[in-house]
Amino acid sequence: MSEELTEEPLRPTTSYEQFRIKGTERTTWILLHTIIPAYTVVDQPPSFGGQPQVIDHPACQPLDDLGLHRMRQADATAGVSHQLLASLTSDELKQVAYWAPETVGQLVWNFWD
């Protein structure tokens, strides 16, 4: 299977870089967080305020080997915990209060400014 990896420009401000994997049968995207060492693979880029639909993909293994944390679907759909909120800065907490993410995926893979 031949695949092509390209960076996709993002229109709004995001917390991640987006890379498209274009295969012969399917196109997927890798979201690479710009601050924390984490990434996820999705079947389509997240929409504004949407929940990313995380999938597994063979392209993940090299990123795992680099020590990046892969956010899986169970992680992305988990509720935002008090423990997670306690690790955020005051500026990040202001953003969370304003945008009110319901899941970890919405918190980590966001379009906030």
Alpha-carbon gap, residue 79 to 64, rounded angstroms? 24
Higher local confidence (pLDDT), 36 or 61: 36
- In the chain, what are the helix, strand and coil shares in percent, each to the nearest 5? 25, 25, 45
Q: Which of 5-14, 61-70, 76-85 has the highest mean pLDDT?
A: 76-85
Task: Please state the pTM of the whole predicted model.
Answer: 0.76
What are the phi and psi torsion angles at 58 (to 5°)?
Answer: -60, -20
CB–CB of 50/110 below 8 Å?
no
Contacts of 89 (CB under 8 A, 6+ apart): none
Residue 12: what pLDDT? 59
Alpha-carbon gap, residue 52 to 96, rounded angstroms? 17
Whole-number CA gyration radius for the chain: 14
Average pLDDT, the chain: 82
Alpha-carbon gap, residue 100 to 5, rounded angstroms? 33
pLDDT band of residue 112 (cuts 50, 70, 90) is low
